[in-house]
Chain A
Amino acid sequence: MVKEEKMIKITDLEKFYRTEEVETVALNKLSLEVKKGEFVAIMGPSGCGKSTLLNIIGMLDDPDGGSYVFNGTEIAHYSERKRADLRKHNIGFVFQSFNLIDELTVFENVELPLIYTGVAAADRAKRVEEVLDKMQIMHRRNHYPQQLSGGQQQRVAIARAVVNKPKLILADEPTGNLDSSNGNEVMELLTDLNEQGTTIVMVTHSEHDARYSHRIIRLLDGHTVMENIMI
C-alpha cells in the first residue's frame, strides 16, 4: 500500500531562534524522509522541535540550514511567495485549536482555501458540500464555529484542510483539545484520508493517536533519536 516515491526528503535541517543574549537550537542537523501515501507521527517532549519541523515541512517557516526537497524540488530557499503558492496547492493543515475564523460560517470557513486557489463560485459550492457531507457536518453548514462542539469544529477544520484535495496533510496535535471519543473520530477520519492516498504527517504527544500511523519518528533536542515502524 505504501508507495516508494518520496514526497519529503529533509537532510541536515537546522533552525535556530536567536535573541540578543541567547541562541536556541530548535532543529539540529535533522534528516528524515516521508514517502507518498505514508502516515507519519512525530513525537517527542515539549521543546524538542517537532512543531518547528512541522512548520518547515508546511512551508510556514524557512530553515536556517540544510535541504528540504518536496516532491523532488528543493524548496529550502524558496521565497515566501513561492512557498505560499506551493503550500496552497499541496498542503492542508489541521491544528490542535482548530483555528477556524469566528466571523465565518462552517461553509465559508471550508470554502476559504478554494477562494485563494481561484476556484469558480459554483464549483466551490459543490466541492464544499461534498466534503461537508463526507465529514458528516453538512447540517451545520450555516453555523458559526462558536455554535459547534470541539469535535465538530475539528471536523470542519479537517474539511477545510482536505477541500483543496492536498497531497499532504499536516496535523499538529489534532486531538489535543478533544475528549477521547471525539479524538478517536478525528483519527478515524485522518486514517480514511490516508487510505484514500493522502500523505499525513502528524505531531502528537499521544501514543494512542500515534498508533494510527505507519511510522513514528521520535525527536529529542532537535534531531531524530528513534523511528518505530508500526505493524
Chain B
Amino acid sequence: MLKNYLKIAWRNLLKNKGFTFINIAGLTIGMASAALILLWVQNELSYDRFHDKKDRLYTMYNRAVFDGNLWCWNTTPKIMAKTLKADYPQVEEATHTTECTFLFTVGDKKLMERGYFTDQGFLNMFSFPLVKGERNKALVDNSSIVLTEKAAKKLFGSTDAAMGKTVKIDSNAHFTVTAVMQDLPNNTRFRFEYLLPWTYMKKIGWDDESWGNNSVQTYALLKPGVKYEAANARIKNITKSHSDQKDTEVFLHPIEKWRLYSKFENGVNTGGKISTVRLFAAIAGLILVIACINFMNLSTARSEKRAKEVGIRKVAGAPREFLIGQFLSESILIALFAGVLALIIVQLSLSGFNQLTGKELFMPYASVDFWIIFFGFIILTGIIAGSYPAFYLSSFQPVKVLKGTFKAANALVAPRKVLVVIQFTVAIVLIICTIIVKSQLQHGQSRDTGYKRDNLVYSYMTGDMGKHYNAIRNDMMASGAVTGVTKTSAPITEGWSDSWGYSWPGKDPNAKLDFNVFNVDGEFTKTMGLKIIEGRDIDIVKYPTDSLAMLLNEAAVKVMGFKNPVGQIVNNGDTKWHVVGVIKDFILQSPYEPVHPMVVQGPSSWFNIVHYKLNPARSTAANLKSIEQVFKKYNPDYPFEYNFVDEDYAKKFAEEQRVGTLATLFAGLTVFISCLGLFGLATYMAQNRIKEIGVRKVLGASVGRITRLLSIDFLKLVLISFLIAAPFSWWGMSEWLKSYTYRVDISIWVFIGAGVMSMLIAIATISYQSIKAAIANPVKSLRSE
C-alpha cells in the first residue's frame, strides 16, 4: 500500500514540475528558516541545563527600595557564600565568582586571559567536565589553578604537558596546574579560561568581609529535599541579620531562570530574554505555517485535477482513510525532499547565522536525538501541510467527480482566501515590525551621547602602569599621539560602580538614592569632550585639594535638589567630597534609558582604565604605535591592548541590531514564501479562468482590463491582510517599545510604507501570470475547451 502511495506521489511530483518546485522551494526555505531559529531557541533554552545538580542550584539576588522602587540585583557581598555555608543548614554548598584578568607567563610565553576567582565549591556544584586532574581537590590548595583546554594548549602546547606545571601570574605569584577543564560549552553563563583560588584574592588585598560591598556573584546548592520556598524564607534576612542594612533582602534565583528570566521590575520577575526567544520561536512557527499554507492552497487549487483519481479509487473500493494516507504520503514525501534540502541550506548558512547571532551553533549529526527530531520535524511538517488537502480531497463524492459535475476549484475559494490572508497578514506584520525595530535602533544611535567618541581610546591599567602613570601620561602627550589623557575607574561606556551611601545638606534622611560612581584624576571633561555647565573640571595640578573634588551630572543635581551645586559638600561615610562643577548628562549605560544620577569623584579613588584622545592630525596607526612604545617602556611585560570607545558604544545596540537584522531576514523570507504561493495560485486561477478570459477577449475586453480582473481579487486579499496586520503590529510594537524609555514614536508613514510595499510586491508577483493569461490568443483557449 505504502509503495503504491509513494509511487503515485512520485509520479505526481514529476508530472507537475511547477507545483512541485513551488512547494518544495517554499517548504525548503520555511523549514531551513525554522530550523535555524529553533537551533538558536534550543541553545537559549539549554543554558546551564547540563549541570547534574541543576534542580538545586541557585544564584543569590539582593532586593531593596531605591527612589521608591524595589530594585533587584545579583551582585552580592563576598562574605555571603561563606556565611550561607556556615550558618544555613538548608545549603549544602555555596561558592562565589568574580572576574579577573591577569598576565600569564610560562617561559617566554605571555598571555592576557580572563578568568574567575572562585573556590573548590564551584567545582563541587557545577558539572564542567575535567579532562585532567581530580575534581574534588583541584582548587583546595592555595597555589592551585584550573585551566581550560584552550588555555592549557596556548600556554603549554597540550593538556598533558600542562598538568603539574607552574604558571606565573602577573609578576609575583606562581600557581601549579592541578586540573584541566574541557572548554566551556557555548550554552553557559560562565566565561573563563582559568579558575584561581579565592585565597589569592585575599592575598592581594581584594577580598573583604563587608556586607555593603556588592561586587561578586554568589551561588548556592540546596540540600536534596529542601524546598525552594522554605530556603528562600530562611535566607532572605541574611544581610539584615549580619549587617546594619536593614532594608536589603536576599532571594534565590533558580538556574533555569538565569539566562532568560533576569529582568525584575519593582521586585517582580518580569521575564527578560525569554520574550525574544518566544518571539523568534513564534516567527519560526509562522514561517513554517506560511510554507505549509502554500502547499495547502496549491493542492486544493488543483483539486479538480485530482478529483477524478479520488473518484476512481473510491469506486475501486478505497476507503477514505486510505486516500487520506495517500495524500499525506505525498505531502510527507515533499516535506522529505524539502527537509533534506533545508538541512543542506542550514549547514551552508550556519556560519553566517552564527556570525549574525553571536553564537556557535552546530548541527549534532552524531546524535540519535537529532535524527529523531529531524524526521519528526519532516513528518510534522508533512502532516500540517497535507492534512487539510488530504481531508478535503478524500471527501469528494465519486458520483459527482466521475459525472464531471464537480467544480472543486471554486468550491474552496473562501478557505483558500482565508489562508492567503493569513500568509500576508504575517508577512505585513513582520514588515511593519522590522521597520519599527530599525527605526528604534536608529533613534537610539542618533541620540547625543554627551561626549565625543571619535578618536577616543582606552586601555586597561595593567602591571606597573599605575605606578608609572604620570610618566606614561607625560610621555604620551609629549609624543604628539594624543591630545588628552585621563585615568578613570571604568570605561566611559560602562557603569561599573554605584552607591547609595551619599548624603548632603538637605537630604531627606529616609530617601535612599542611588548614584553611578565614576572616578577620574584630571582632564576628564577635556579628554572625553564633555560639556561643563557650571563650575570647572577636576584639576589636581592647579588645585591640590581636588583629590576630594567632585563633579555632578545634571540628573544628580536634580535629585539632590541643589540650587547652587558648586561648593556643596557631599559625604560618603567619613569622606567629604566638595562639588567643583556640573557636567551635562552623558550616556554611561543604556542609550534607551534616562541618564542616571552620577557623581564623578576626584583622584582620591581607585582606577582601572586610562582613556586617551588620539591626535586627529596624525594617522591612527602612527598614534597607536607611539602609544605602544610608551606603554612598553613602562610596562614591558604586558601586551599593548586598546579599545575604541565608538566600537564599544556600538555594542550597546548589538541586541537591537541582531533583532533588527534577524527580523529583516525572516520578514524577507516570509514575504518571498508568501509570494511563491501567490504566484502558484495566480497560475492555477489563470488556468481555471482560461475559457472566461477567451470569451471576454472575443467580446472586446482589453489586455489591461483582463489583467485587472485577474489581479483585483488577490489585491483585495492583500488589502484585507494589511487592515488586520496594521492594528495588530501597532499594538505589538507599542508594547515592545514600552521597554524603552527613550523610544521612537510609531509614525503613520510606517504603515503607509508597509501597505504600499506589500501591494507592490503582490502586484509584481501576480502580474506575470495575469498579463500572460490576458495576452493569450482566445482562439486557443476556446478551442481547447
Contacts and interface: CB of A to CB of B under 8 A. Distances in A.
Decide whether A and B assemble into one complex: yes
A88 B402 contact: no
A70 interface: no
B316 A160 contact: yes
B317 A117 contact: yes
B563 interface: no
A89 B317 CA distance: 8
A84 B319 contact: yes
A47 to B, nearest CB: 13
B316 A51 contact: no
Contacts of B397: 60-61
A2 interface: no
B86 interface: no
Contacts of B398: 60
A116 B312 contact: no
**Most chain-A Cβ atoms within 10 A of its Cβ — which of B316, B317, B319, B398?**
B316
B86 to A, nearest CB: 75
B7 to A, nearest CB: 8
Contacts of B402: 95, 97, 99
Nearest to A103: B11
Contacts of A81: 319
A89 B685 CA distance: 40
A88 B312 CA distance: 12
B316 A116 contact: yes
A104 B316 CA distance: 14
Contacts of B318: 112, 116
Contact of A84 (B4, B308, B309, B314): B314
Contacts of B173: none
Contact of A88 (B8, B308, B316): B316
B313 interface: yes
Contact of A99 (B12, B312, B399): B312
Contact of A103 (B12, B311, B403): B12
A112 B313 contact: yes
Interface string A102-130: 01100010001101110000000000000
A100 B313 CA distance: 10
B399 to A, nearest CB: 5
B4 A115 contact: yes
A208 to B, nearest CB: 24
Contacts of A61: 397, 399
Interface string B389-404: 0000000011100110
A103 B8 contact: yes
Interface string B3-29: 010011001100100000000000000
A151 B319 CA distance: 29
A32 interface: no
A57 to B, nearest CB: 12
Nearest to A80: B320
A55 B311 CA distance: 13
Given A60-B399, A99-B402, A100-B312, A84 B317 contact: yes
Contacts of A214: none
A85 B311 CA distance: 15
Interface in B602-648: none
Interface string A198-221: 000000000000000000000000
Contacts of A99: 308, 311-312, 315, 402
A35 interface: no
B740 interface: no
A101 interface: yes
Contact of B1 (A104, A115, A164): A115
Nearest to B312: A99
A101 B318 CA distance: 14
Interface string A43-59: 00000000100010010
A113 B317 contact: yes
Interface residues of A, number: 27
Contact of A104 (B8, B315, B319): B8
Nearest to B305: A102
A103 B15 contact: yes
A227 B138 CA distance: 105
A97 B322 CA distance: 24
Nearest to B315: A93
A95 B403 CA distance: 10
Contacts of A112: 312-313, 316, 318
Contacts of B317: 84, 87-89, 113, 116-117, 164
Contacts of A87: 315, 317
Contacts of A108: 4, 7
B309 A101 contact: yes
A140 to B, nearest CB: 18
Nearest to B14: A103
Contact of B315 (A60, A97, A103, A115): A60
Contacts of B1: 115
A53 B1 CA distance: 33
Nearest to B319: A84
B322 A51 contact: no
Contacts of A55: 399
Contacts of B15: 103
A55 B22 CA distance: 39
Nearest to A87: B317
Nearest to A121: B3
Contacts of A88: 316-317
B396 to A, nearest CB: 12
A26 B620 CA distance: 95
A221 B7 CA distance: 45
Nearest to A54: B399
A103 B319 contact: no
Nearest to A170: B315
A115 B325 CA distance: 14
Contacts of B11: 103-104
Interface in B1-58: 1, 4, 7-8, 11-12, 15
A93 B402 CA distance: 11
A165 B281 CA distance: 56
Interface in A26-75: 51, 55, 58, 60-61
A124 to B, nearest CB: 11
A116 B319 contact: yes
A101 B7 CA distance: 13
A61 B8 CA distance: 27
A201 to B, nearest CB: 15
B316 A113 contact: yes
Interface in B364-406: 397-399, 402-403
Given A81-B319, A87-B317, A116-B318, A101 B399 contact: no
Contacts of B308: 99, 101
Nearest to A86: B317
B538 to A, nearest CB: 86
Nearest to A98: B312
B636 to A, nearest CB: 81
Nearest to A112: B316
A81 B318 CA distance: 10
Interface string B311-341: 1111111110010000000000000000000
Nearest to A89: B317
Contacts of A116: 313, 316-319, 322
B304 to A, nearest CB: 14
Nearest to B12: A103
21 contacts: A58-B315, A60-B397, A84-B314, A87-B315, A87-B317, A88-B316, A89-B317, A97-B402, A99-B402, A100-B312, A101-B312, A103-B8, A103-B12, A103-B309, A112-B312, A112-B313, A112-B316, A113-B316, A115-B4, A116-B313, A117-B317
Interface of B: 1, 4, 7-8, 11-12, 15, 308-309, 311-319, 322, 397-399, 402-403
* 9 smallest beta-carbon distances between A and B, as pairs: A88-B317, A116-B317, A103-B11, A113-B316, A112-B316, A60-B399, A61-B399, A99-B312, A55-B399
Given A58-B315, A81-B319, A103-B8, 15 more contacts: A60-B398, A61-B397, A84-B317, A84-B319, A87-B315, A87-B317, A88-B316, A103-B12, A112-B313, A112-B318, A113-B317, A115-B4, A116-B316, A116-B319, A116-B322
